[in-house]
Homo-oligomer: A and B are copies of this chain.
Amino acid sequence: MQNYLGIDIGGSSIKYGWGNSKLGLQHYGIHPFKAKTLGQFLSAAAAMFTTIESLHHMQDFTALGIATAGTISKANGHLVGVNPNLPFWVDQRPDVIIPQTFDNPVFSDNDANLMALAEAEGLKIDNLIGITVGSGIGWGIVSEGRIFRGSHGFAGEAGHAVSVENGAECTCGNRGCLEAYSSVDGIKRLLAQRSEHYLQYSLPELIKKQQQDAIVNEVITTGSRYLARAIANAVVLLDPEAVVLGGGAMDLGMYCLETMQAEIFNMLPKAHQMGFRLLPAHFGNRAGVMGAIVLCERNLT
């Protein structure tokens, strides 16, 4: 049985694990880091590999997969554009973190793409959209069992699809993006504009306040509705077997899956209604690591 190492690079930790899609994860760990420069980040990654090597012989991994925040260019394999949670982690190949002694194959992709791939593998589905709702909103598309990357590698950036013409400011510099309304950071920004006192609350606190506070309720409900609309519009365009919704905010119950399912259903043409399913993500925090492992498997078989 092949054994693959999966790495998931996020804003404040690197997750890692090994196994394969049949047996699942045989080991899983989280290596938190604080880094403001590329040098600090690379040191943290090196420390993580020292930990891994103390547990498992690296060369026994058939391949290594990397899930990472950020967009990877098809042209040169580099991270391109803006990487809000890891601002220094651009213009690099993700595999720069791998110890030079490792000479088996290495594959990399965006973390939302690999979340979608992990869920597709778990559900045994070939056509799927995966969405993670957290500080931002990540989308990944799996088509006929493979990640849909688009012509430059920029597919799935639908967090920056326009929900409202000339709407709220987004971190990307544009206005009215889905992320500006439906992500955790977007919701926090919108609430702070209504009243600065909302700045003191954590997301779980805001979710609790929803029942008593009309403004919190309005902002979260609007975020849910815009996300539902964006999902419905993606479904008529792409006709997936399922849309899987995950990420930290979903785990905390920020949006109600049943409400969204009903809203999406009402927006779909009849033909699409029949086949459509909105599902909760299965792999949670481990989706990136699992997706990186599945990426290795699909590229090697």
Residues of A at the B interface (CB closer than 8 Å) are: 71, 80-82, 126-127, 139, 141, 143, 148-158, 160-162, 165, 172-174, 225, 229-230, 232-234, 236-241, 266-272, 275
Please report the C-alpha to C-alpha distance between residue A266 and residue B229 in the assembled complex, in whole angstroms: 21
Please report the C-alpha to C-alpha distance between residue A152 and residue B126 in the assembled complex, in whole angstroms: 11
Chain B positions within 8 Å of A165 at CB level: 225, 229
Please report the C-alpha to C-alpha distance between residue A234 and residue B44 in the assembled complex, in whole angstroms: 38
Select A143's contact among B80, B126, B143, B160, beta carbons within 8 Å.
Answer: B143
Given A269-B174, A271-B71: A233 and B152 within 8 A (CB)? Answer: no
A176 to chain B, nearest CB (A): 8
Q: Is A80 in contact with B271, judged by CB distance below 8 angstroms?
A: yes
Chain B positions within 8 Å of A270 at CB level: 81-82, 172-173
Chain B positions within 8 Å of A232 at CB level: 161-162
Select A172's contact among B80, B156, B172, B269, beta carbons within 8 Å.
Answer: B269
Please report the C-alpha to C-alpha distance between residue A239 and residue B110 in the assembled complex, in whole angstroms: 15
Q: Which of A126, A127, A155, A238 gathers the greatest number of chain B CB atoms within 10 Å?
A: A238
Select A152's contact among B156, B230, B266, B275, beta carbons within 8 Å.
Answer: B275
Select A236's contact among B126, B160, B240, B266, beta carbons within 8 Å.
Answer: B160
A242 to chain B, nearest CB (A): 9
